[in-house]
């Protein structure tokens, strides 16, 4: 999701993006070619826009399960798939839809019973008037980032456990996040921090926003540490309702449900561009090199949160 104000200057820069892709950086933290391949597959036409409760949504889910497995994510119990239902539409148009979150974890080496919950919604808005809305940035980008993080941390193990959740039905009103919190796979008291990724892949000016330090100032020092050596411009913001002309994103994606449940939450995402919730939100219109660096920034961020989770748990 993310209803947003379009930034005029950025929208003007878009044709340049379409014409030119900078060479993509080879990451030392994960396989960047695999990251881009995951992004391409998830946002291809045959995923039919990944709407919750549709065949395209199911196909995307099967791919997420396969990639969780390959990335070293372990399931809680028998399956990665945690089904739920929700009602969409009103009155005569009301219909029950079947959806499912894909959930697993990478165990920590020191505090395995304590978790950072890394989330990204894998659904998008489907097909409208015969046109597939591919949702490359929103949010194939965050979903593919889950796999890159998982593959990194299953090799370079964290001290605390990392819970990875590819959430469904965000576009239908954060249904997946709410289903997760209604029936969490672990004691919710062990969920110390939520890191939500939604739209990581498109910015001509290297800007990645982190949302939530205005309301949770105790998290600000960690963001400053991460920003100091991040390979993108990591900017705290979009979380102060008093700031004129800047949209407040504190309730604009799944992290909102976590903060509401009193679990500290941070959201990472890019500025809205002209392609947001348009049929042009395609793999080709992403800034691929920036995207790799944004995901590297998320790896670095999770490392810092993991190292400081004691402090964060006490400050919450």
Rounded CA separation 27/30 (Å): 6
3-state secondary structure of 58: helix
Smallest gap from Cβ 96 to Zn ion, in A, equals: 23
3-state secondary structure of 316: coil
Q: CA angle, corner 138, sides to 137 and 140, nearest 5?
A: 70
Smallest gap from Cβ 25 to Zn ion, in A, equals: 25
Smallest gap from Cβ 138 to Zn ion, in A, equals: 4
Minimum CB distance to Zn ion smaller for 97 or for 114: 97
Smallest gap from Cβ 248 to Zn ion, in A, equals: 16
Q: For every residue of 194-217, which 3-state class applies, written as one string?
A: EEEECCCCCCCCCEEEEECCCCCH
Minimum CB distance to Zn ion smaller for 147 or for 222: 147
Smallest gap from Cβ 3 to Zn ion, in A, equals: 10
3-state secondary structure of 12: helix
Smallest gap from Cβ 280 to Zn ion, in A, equals: 16
Smallest gap from Cβ 172 to Zn ion, in A, equals: 12
Minimum CB distance to Zn ion smaller for 139 or for 151: 139
- Cα of first residue to Cα of last residue in the chain, in angstroms, is 27
Q: Which of 302, 300, 271 is nearest to 287 (CA)?
A: 271
Specify the residue for token string 């900017």: 235
Smallest gap from Cβ 51 to Zn ion, in A, equals: 13
- Beta strand 127-128 with 131-132: parallel, antiparallel or unpaired? antiparallel
What is the sign of the dihedral through the CA atoms of 202, 203, 207 and 209? negative
3-state secondary structure of 148: helix
Minimum CB distance to Zn ion smaller for 138 or for 271: 138
Minimum CB distance to Zn ion smaller for 29 or for 270: 270
Smallest gap from Cβ 239 to Zn ion, in A, equals: 17
Enter the DSSP assignment of 6.
P
Minimum CB distance to Zn ion smaller for 196 or for 297: 196
- Kindly report the backbone phi and psi dihedral angles of residue 33, in degrees, each rounded to the nearest multiple of 5, phi listed first: -65, -40
Rounded (to 5) percent helix, strand, coil in the chain: 40, 20, 40
Minimum CB distance to Zn ion smaller for 50 or for 82: 50
Minimum CB distance to Zn ion smaller for 181 or for 197: 197
Residues near Zn ion (CB under 5 A) are 1, 138-139, 198
Minimum CB distance to Zn ion smaller for 1 or for 116: 1
What is the sign of the dihedral through the CA atoms of 78, 309, 302 and 202? positive
Rounded CA separation 163/239 (Å): 25
């Amino acid at each position: 999701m993310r209803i947003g104000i379009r930034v005029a200057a950025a929208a003007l820069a878009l044709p340049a993006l379409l014409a030119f892709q900078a060479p993509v950086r080879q990451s030392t933290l994960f396989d960047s070619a695999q990251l881009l391949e995951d992004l391409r597959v998830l946002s291809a036409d045959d995923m039919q826009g990944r709407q919750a409760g549709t065949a395209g949504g199911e196909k995307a889910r099967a791919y997420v399960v396969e990639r969780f497995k390959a990335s070293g994510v372990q399931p809680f119990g028998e399956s990665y798939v945690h089904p739920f239902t929700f009602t969409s539409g009103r009155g005569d148009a009301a219909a029950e839809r079947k959806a499912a979150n894909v959930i697993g974890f990478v165990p920590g080496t020191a505090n395995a019973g304590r978790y950072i919950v890394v989330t990204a919604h894998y659904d998008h808005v489907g097909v409208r008037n015969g046109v597939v809305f591919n949702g490359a940035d929103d949010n194939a980008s965050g979903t593919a980032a889950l796999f890159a993080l998982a593959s990194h941390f299953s090799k370079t193990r964290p001290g605390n456990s990392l819970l990875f959740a590819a959430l469904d039905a965000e576009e239908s009103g954060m249904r997946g996040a709410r289903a997760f919190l209604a029936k969490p796979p672990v004691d919710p008291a062990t969920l110390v921090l939520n890191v939500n990724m939604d739209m990581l892949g498109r910015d001509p000016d290297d800007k990645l926003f982190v949302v939530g330090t205005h309301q949770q100032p105790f998290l600000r020092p960690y963001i400053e540490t991460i920003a100091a050596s991040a390979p993108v411009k990591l900017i705290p913001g979009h979380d102060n309702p008093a700031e004129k002309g800047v949209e407040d994103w504190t309730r604009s994606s799944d992290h909102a449900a976590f903060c509401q449940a009193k679990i500290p939450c941070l959201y990472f995402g890019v500025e809205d561009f002209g392609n947001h919730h348009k049929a042009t939100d395609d793999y080709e219109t992403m800034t691929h090199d920036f995207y790799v660096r944004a995901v590297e920034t998320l790896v670095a961020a999770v490392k810092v949160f993991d190292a400081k989770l004691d402090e964060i748990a006490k400050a919450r």
